[in-house]
Amino acid sequence: MNLHFDVEGGEFISAGVASSKVKKVLKQLAIQPEIIRKISVAMYEAEINMVIHAHGGVIDAEIMPDHVHVVLKDEGPGIENIELAMKAGYSTASRLAREMGFGAGMGLANMKRYADILQIESEPGKGTTVEITVKLYPEQA
C-alpha cells in the first residue's frame, strides 16, 4: 500500500497528520504496538523537522508485507553537517518552535534509534531527503 502526503511548512498545528494516518493503517493491520511506535515516532520526528526546519515537503509511505519504507523529501535549507545534526542536543530550532516544545535536538537521535535503516541525504541550499525503513516482524528476519 502506498500513501502520499503533502506537508505544508510552518504548519505546527497540523503537523503529524501523515504519521498518525500511517499509524492508524498499521493498527488496522494488527501490527505489534512496539513496532507501530517505532515507525510512527521516527516518521513524526522527520515530519516535524520538515515543518520547522524546511518549508514542508512531500512524504511517501510504502507499507509492504514485511516492512514499512517512508521517504520524506523537502526543498528546505538542507543540513550542512549531518554528523553534527545527528548529535543528541544539537538544534537550530527557532524560538517559536522551542516554545512549542521542539528543539531538544533529539529528533534525529530518535529516528536513528527507532528506524531499522535510516538514510539522510542533504545538500545545503537544495533540500533534505530522509528515508526510514522499519521491519514489521524483526524476530523472523
Partner 1 sequence: MTINDVQTILKATVVTQSLYENNEVLSGFVGDLLSVVMGKAKEQCAWITIQGHINIIAVGTLINVGCIIVTEGFKVDEDAIKKANEEDIVIMTTQLSSYEAAALLSRDGLE
Ligand X SMILES: Nc1ncnc2c1ncn2[C@@H]1O[C@H](COP(=O)(O)OP(=O)(O)OP(=O)(O)O)[C@@H](O)[C@H]1O
Please tell me whether residue 74 binds ligand X under the rule CB under 6 A.
yes
Alpha helices in the chain (DSSP H): 17-28, 33-52, 82-86, 95-99, 107-114
User: Residue 34: what residue type?
Assistant: E
- Report d(CA 112, CA 115) in Å as an integer: 6
Among 105, 116, 131, 138, binds ligand X (CB under 6 A): 105
Please tell me whether residue 13 binds partner 1 under the rule CB under 8 A.
yes
Strand order in the sheet with 67-74: 2-8, 56-63, 67-74, 127-135, 117-123
CA 40 from chain centre, in angstroms, equals 8
Please tell me whether residue 104 binds partner 1 under the rule CB under 8 A.
yes
| Shortest distance (Å) from residue 40 CB to ligand X | 15
Among 18, 63, 79, 132, binds ligand X (CB under 6 A): 79
Q: Residue 59's binding partner, choosing from Mg ion, partner 1, ligand X, none, with beta-carbon cut-off 5 to 8 A by kind?
A: none
3-state secondary structure of 118: strand
Please tell me whether residue 31 binds partner 1 under the rule CB under 8 A.
no
**CA 12, 56, 46, 62 torsion: positive or negative?**
positive
Q: Which residues bind partner 1 (CB under 8 A)?
A: 12-13, 15-16, 19-20, 23, 33, 37, 40-41, 44-45, 48, 100-107, 109-110, 113
Q: Which residues bind ligand X (CB under 6 A)?
A: 45, 49-50, 53-54, 74, 76-79, 85, 90-93, 102-109, 128
